[in-house]
Structure 1
């Protein structure tokens, strides 16, 4: 039983770290949108790649939600026995998998945004900037 609870504790700790990463990526990407310390495309077509951030935000929020549910199931597993504890363990596994999956989807969407931004930055920035912005 002690090994079982130690394993659950490790999963809960890893989930907490994933939640921290998701919140950091979420906060950083929101700061990029509302901040003015970076170059942004003047052309509406190029600015449209910012829409890649919407699925990233949704995925990261779902990942955070799964981490929260995992924490609740972990607490339930600590205070139950038998079949209820087995059910909590199954929920913990499902929430951890969902947390990992949605964090991955969020990272993919952020990578697509970053790729589009870098392409604009390297190839088109001087063409798209007004006078004095280059």
Structure 2
């Protein structure tokens, strides 16, 4: 009887961990979508100084890399959601829950990695933009 109780608790623990990973993944997805939306606003708005020379505009190519990285991060979140749905179907199978947990944990690590790399691309753009603004943008005022 004690082993059965321990197995039930183990199943519940894995199931709850999978749900927690999904919740964290959803937060990162929200942040990623906010960052992507903010970068589109940067490109589409005309309320700030922008470089006019082609060489300085090349820095905006970092946005494409950042968007791709954010897209991969969001894709990982979609896969986590699918795995979470599967965990509900296999909630009585401990081995399946362990495999789903491993998959979710791996995907969550990838999601965070790609999200951080995307932020790095936008951060590099911001630093380069500030350098341009300090040394070249002042004459536009």
- TM-score normalised to the size of structure 2? 0.86
Higher RCO (Cα < 8 Å, 6 or more apart): 2
Cα offset, 1:97, TM superposition: 0.8
| Runs of 4+ in structure 1 over 3 Å off | none
Which has the higher mean CA deviation after the structures are superposed, 63-72 or 79-88? 79-88
2:116 maps to 104
* Separation in 1, partners of 2:45, 2:136: 21
When Rg is computed on C-alpha atoms for both structures, the one with the higher figure is 2
* Separation in 1, partners of 2:13, 2:106: 20
2:136 maps to 124
The CA deviation string for residues 12-59 of structure 1, in whole angstroms up to 9 with x for no partner, is 111000000001001111111122121101111111111111110000
User: Unpaired segments of 5 or more residues in structure 2?
Assistant: 1-10
Cα offset, 1:84, TM superposition: 2.5
Number of matched pairs? 129
User: Unpaired segments of 5 or more residues in structure 1?
Assistant: none
- TM-score normalised to the size of structure 1? 0.90
* Separation in 2, partners of 1:93, 1:6: 13
RMSD: 1.2
Cα offset, 1:61, TM superposition: 0.6
1:31 aligns with 2:37: no
Cα offset, 1:2, TM superposition: 2.2
